[in-house]
Structure 1
Amino acid sequence: MSYPEQMTPWVTWREGAIVTTAFLVCLLGSVLQVDDTVAPPSVAACLLAATSAAVTLARHRAPVATLAVTTVLGMLVAPLGLLPTPLTIAPAVISAYAVAMRTERRTAVAALLTSAALLVASTLFFEENLSWEDTSRLVTVASSPLVAAVLGRLAKHRQAQLAYVAERALRAETSRDSEARRKVGEERIRIARELHDLVAHQITLANAQANVAAHLFSTRPDQARTSLDEVVETTRQALDELRATVGLLRQSDDAPAPHEPAPGLALVPTLLESFRLAGLEVSMHHDGTAGPLPPAVDLTAYRVIQEALTNVTKHAAARSADVRLSWERERVGIRIINDGVSSRTPLEHSPGYGLIGLRERTTALGGSLTAGPRPEGGFIVAAELPLPVAGSGARTTARASDREGR
């Protein structure tokens, strides 16, 4: 921020103190005489001190021009019969500090060297015989602006370092806020996906069972009562699974709570039986040797089967469906095929959230999901879920140990 934009009362008092100090220092320097005596400052010395000190007010807006003016005024010290010392050129020293603070290095070096050379040259022009004391005083006069410039450069680097640290802190805070917002968004999607998978399935299943009970109520009251009992059981399971889902969502990762296990392939037989009671013929086949799955993969596999069969009940005029699991070393494949005619479009063009949620699940695990009608009729949902190498190695080791034991 530039100097004019910072004219607060504190800055005003500070600038006034600097100008006053520069004026008094110049007057103090003009009191010293060449013969080491002390005399009251002349009117010319007072005017020179006042003018030089006043010019320093412009050092923030035009540092190079301010240094040039104070240098020219400093060159008048010797012609006025005053003793050239760092005191009498104090405004030039202050201007040199401002040049180092507010200009580029090349510009600052050129301006400072020129100022020092002019101050020395003006003194030499009016001095005929220079003693050792005069020479040392000239060296001090020439070096004073340069020393001030070095201090100004160090202050500039310090300010730049503090600004860099503040910027890094601001970026880090912004990054933390963005990361927090991203995690909140991901958690909202995760909760929505879990609740959709649970509520859509259970409500669809309960609705199908209630329809069966209503259809059989007049002709087969015993079977209708059985269907109503299944509705009660389905809603009870929905409440249990809702509690398990809430417990899962409270965990830091996909690992289910030990006392409330999340659904997995172990519950698929119960899931298939509930669809059978709702009137859908469902079969299940395994290709390869089944093994334990990581919690996230196990839950996703269950959700794929659940959502596919729920869509069959809701959207397809199907009588049967086939669930097939293919077990391999590094992946598990899931195929759900029905013989009905789907009223839904393929996954890529579907406006619903069920299959979209499944795609998000499988993609998050590094797998894939496809869904669409088959050329020979019916509809297929296919998923490929990768298995961790460590888990695969553990299953291989376990099977090898079994063979060795046998």
Structure 2
Amino acid sequence: MISIIILSHNENDTQSCINNIENNLIESINEIVIVKGNSDINYKSEKINIININDKNLFSYSFSKFANIGIKNTSKNNDILILNDNCYIVENTLENLEKALYSSENVGIATPVSNIGPFYHYQSLNLPFESLQSFIDYTKDKVNYKQSDNELRLRTSFLTVLIKRCVLDEISLLDEIFISTDFASDDFCLRALKQGYKTLLCNNSFIYIKGDLYYNIGYLDKNKFKNKWGFDPLYSLSIRTEILDKLSIDSSSAVNILEIGCACGSTLLKLKEIYKECNLYGFDINKESTDIAKHIDNANIQCADIENDDISLEENKFDLVILLDVLEHLKDPWELMKKVKKSLKKDGQIIISLPNIMHISIVNSLIQGNWDYQESGILDRTHLRFFTLKSIKEMFQSIDCNMIYYFSIYSRISSEEENLINLLSTQYNLDKNQLMSYQYIITNKTL
């Protein structure tokens, strides 16, 4: 059975949310708990339990605290669906979420696709729907449940989430040190993972979020998370989606994939969805990250310093080798590229990403006599080597990869930088694209 917890912020939204749920009820739902501040909501129903919080500091309550109050007031054997009152479910959403949650014994968390959401969780459509009805029209041919459409994730955002009761029994409630939905979600998913429970994104289940995202306060919790887990979730748990359309290896064949600098393994897990028959290998220097990546089924993950530890790469083994934001951190990236090339099969693919030191922001600063290291970005203080497009091409040529393909990733530029680009490109015949490219993705093969 399922208890629905509605986190109430606005009386009208809450009323609409309840009406929406009652139009989509399934037999396994036998309880609705509304957690709210002191207001006039007094909905009459045998299934509805209203938890009224009388606290003058209510404004300081986090997503986690609201959700935990609701969980504590549900029937002790029920699974839990947490829903903000500005979220509206569409046809088959609840049925499909429940099917996904029970598609395997070791699945403990299931979340739907939303119309909007944080970009780094990759579970929202981010399309400009004018209304709930336009969203329903868009999704109506996508709501037929297929287990094969479910997608394993290391984390999802709990904009709406269905959680097995046994997960809560084993790992306890959401951690209330986190204010934002997203960091609390990440923390819960990882704690569940370490207890053997997986998280699924159900791609046949949809919610519509009206207005703003509640509790998504961004980076306030970043240091708390890093102190608890030992890595930055915005980097180490991200899926590097920018490489997915660059893959040239046949997805129907059995392949060996190596990622050097795999972090927590989110990109490897995504590749496992694409390449159903694959063997995954990964190296990363961060032990806390690799401890997470080791929970990916059939993945050979090692915590190692790829440059200083005694690591040997088997020759002619890999179909795909990925190095994303790695080479700039090494003393001798050219030597590692030689090892990578030897480990690659004859028709194998290498994909790397590197920041572009020729980006106009760096040129502009240098003209003014500045070379200021930062916590992140092109002048990240941990970078040891710096590359232009020309030097990247030369590195590939040094390992006998003469045919390469490059793709630019751009960043926002100021009007001052735009003027400087026009001046330099005219005065010195410089390629504008090389001044505008913040980062390059380079590969030896293309579709």
- TM-score grouping bracket, smaller chain normalisation: under 0.3
Q: Considering fraction of residues, name the structure with more strand.
A: 2
TM-score of the pair, normalised by structure 2 = 0.20
Q: Considering fraction of residues, name the structure with more helix.
A: 1
TM-score of the pair, normalised by structure 1 = 0.21
Higher relative contact order (CA 8 A, sep 6+): 2
